[in-house]
Amino acid sequence: MKSPNSYNVLIMVDESLPNDIQDCHRLIAILQRQVDDGQQKINQQATQLSLKDKLVEEQAHSVLQLKDNQDQLNEKVTELNLTIEKLLKQLYGRKSERRIDGAGQLLLDLGEEVTPEVVSALEEAIRLAEQIAQGAEESSRKCKPRRPQRDDRKFPAHLPRYEKLVDLPKEQREGLKLIGYDEVETLELIRSELRVRVTRYAKYAHPADKTQGILSPERPTGLVEGHRFDPSIGVEVVAAKYFYHLPFYRQQDLFAGSGWTPSRSTLQNIEAGVEFALRPLAAHLRSYLKQDQTIGCDDTGVLLITPAAMPDLSQHPRGQRIGEVLETAIAAGKPSINAKMWGYYASRLPVVAFDFTVSRHRDGPDEVLGDFAGNLIGDCWSGFQKIEVRSGSRITFAACWAHARRKIDECRSAFPLQVAQLESWIRMLYDIEDQIQKLNASQRLARRRSLSRHVLGLIEEYLSGEEMSPGRVLPKSNLGQAAAYVRRHWEALSRFIDDASIPIDNNDCEQLMKRVATGRKNWMFKGSVFAGDRAANLMTIVGTAIRNDLDVAAYLHDVLQRALDGETDWARLAPHAWKAEHPESIRTYRQDERRQSADRKRKRRARRRLGK
């Protein structure tokens, strides 16, 4: 199509054309200009519409992006609220994990397909619960024992006694006859008494032959050079720190009250002397622990002060790994390192062990359990999960149901029904363990393979059922993550039903780690790698003595003196063996307390199983 200018030129050139044709050309030119103007306006409107569409598209994209950001923020807020709730619960909530029945607690449903073995086991469990509950009711109906006679309330006969006579004044006794005395026993405490033993070693010389030198009796081995401190001082220092959890600066006050104020470095040297003498005993206890079929393991943090310069680690068995961690911390200028204290708890043997590492690295458990063949139970840390592969199937990992239950229980406020149902079945697993506690290994295994396996099947079915589907429980929610944790470690969580030596949880070892946590609140940190190793060895000995209900000070004093005298029969000096030779040093009241606590727990669970 020609432009308007071309038509104007055509009209101007051809002026000889008739007027009507010229009018037509003019009209066509005018119409063409109008068409072009309209097209231009259309193009402008189209451009404006395109810009509007693009703006709408950008706005829609911005809205979607804002919505996505809002969803992420909402998810973050929910996560932070759950974290705050968890922290508040840890600070101010109940410390015990024992559940109290409430309105949200569901009755246990064992499903429709119950095998005869399960029915038989349930009937036996009900009969046992009835017997326990009936025994508890009968004992509660019995009359309370009469108040003991006065002689029975006297203090132990082996305590030293002295008499103090209180009489009337002489002027009041005139004309009276003495008919007897009323005795009142009052217990007194005398502050710890320190005394200095001066030992004089005779010296002899040959009067005629001076070349023979001076002869003197052989001197015993002491804790420190010069034999300046008796083993009783070393026992007091170690027992105060690792049994009573008193740091050196508090021990200074105790000793100062008795007339001697030692420096902290002196107390540290005494501790090091005790550890050096008993180091082989700690190694023997670790070796004895690995004779068990199942070992529990757990760890907790210990602050390690970063040294100003690299120490000499050439003689340390883990020198390379320790050197890498210390070099990194020194280069980064870190004032301290989050080291780890590991605890090991034998399932059947009366022994515990501790180990110190500079980080939570798998080298620790791998080295301690280097020649161990059996089961390891703990949390689902990746280092534990892969220990079976690293050990060439020599060690089998079993997961802890207490950890799984804890993760599920944290979701109670958001998913009360699902949590109540899952905890009902988990509680049933613990009830079964309570019932079979006193049975032999084959009976326990048979009960686990019948009743426990059935309950585990119900839990597994519920986790894959409608109530736990993504439509009701989002995968990223706290319950979704807890369920994923259980599904992911299901094989390890189910291993206890195929081995009677595997406990259902690792609570015994976790209770053991409380000793580290309590001590950490007092001595706060370790000043060096070697101080951490000394603490692990001494805590191994003290912890095993506690597990055997021994008088820790009496045990340490005897074995330390015998070790200094040269005795090396560590199997005989182990707490469980020493216990048999020294029944007078057994804390029987601790055994009674545990027995009474276990009886109360059995009665409480029996009443609950019967719905009382």
Domain ranges of the chain: 1-37, 231-396+524-581, 401-505
Position 113 scores a pLDDT of 58
Q: Please report the pLDDT score of residue 266 as a whole number.
A: 94
**pLDDT at position 149 over 80:** no
pLDDT value at 143 more than 70: no
pLDDT band of residue 412 (cuts 50, 70, 90) is confident
User: Residue 104: its pLDDT value, please?
Assistant: 39
State the residue for tokens 């997961």: 399
Please tell me the predicted confidence (pLDDT) of residue 142.
61
> What proportion of the chain, given as a percentage, has pLDDT over 70?
86
pLDDT of residue 548 exceeding 90, the answer is: yes
> Using H for helix, E for strand and C for coil, what is the string for 414-450?
CCHHHHHHHHHHHHHHHHHHHHCCCCCHHHHHHHHHH
- Residue, of 218 and 3, whose pLDDT is higher: 218
151-160, 486-495, 562-571: the lowest-pLDDT one: 151-160
Task: Indicate the SS3 state at residue 150.
Answer: helix
Q: Is 18 exposed, middle or buried (0-12, 13-18, 19+ CB in 10 A)?
A: exposed
The pLDDT assigned to 140 comes to 62
Q: Which has the minimum average pLDDT: 85-89, 229-233, 291-295?
A: 85-89
Q: What is the mean pLDDT of residues 301-310?
A: 92
| pLDDT at position 121 | 66
Mean pLDDT of 548-571: 95
Q: What is the pLDDT of residues 472-482, one digit of tens each?
A: 888 888 899 99
Name the packing angle between helices 416-435 and 401-409 (round to 10°).
Answer: 150
Q: Check if the beta carbon of residue 492 is closer than 8 Å to that of residue 397.
A: yes
pLDDT surpassing 50 at residue 2: no
Residue 122's pLDDT is: 65
Residue 151 has pLDDT above 60, yes or no: no
**Pairwise pLDDT comparison (594 vs 351), residue with the higher score:** 351
Instruction: Look at 100 and 455; give whichever has higher pLDDT.
Output: 455
Residue 418 pLDDT grade (very low, low, confident, very high; cuts 50, 70, 90):
very high
Q: Where is 341: in which H helix or E strand? A: strand 336-346
Region 135-140: mean pLDDT is: 64
Burial 330-356 (b: 16+ CB within 10 A, else e): eeeeeeebebbbbbbbbbebebbbbbb
Mean pLDDT of the region 454-477? 90
For 95, 107, 117, 244, 425, the CA distances from 454, given in Å and listed in that order, are 31, 17, 10, 46, 10
Q: Is the pLDDT of residue 556 over 70?
A: yes
Q: Are 520 and 365 in contact (CB under 8 A)?
A: no
**Radius of gyration for the chain, computed over Cα atoms and rounded to the nearest angstrom:** 41
Instruction: Tell me the C-alpha distance between 35 and 58, whole Å.
Output: 34
pLDDT tops 60 at residue 362: yes
Query: pLDDT band at 79, cuts 50/70/90?
Result: confident
Q: Is the per-residue pLDDT at 8 higher than 50? A: no
Per-residue confidence band for 12, with pLDDT thresholds at 50, 70 and 90 = very low
User: Between residues 156 and 277, which one has the greater pLDDT?
Assistant: 277
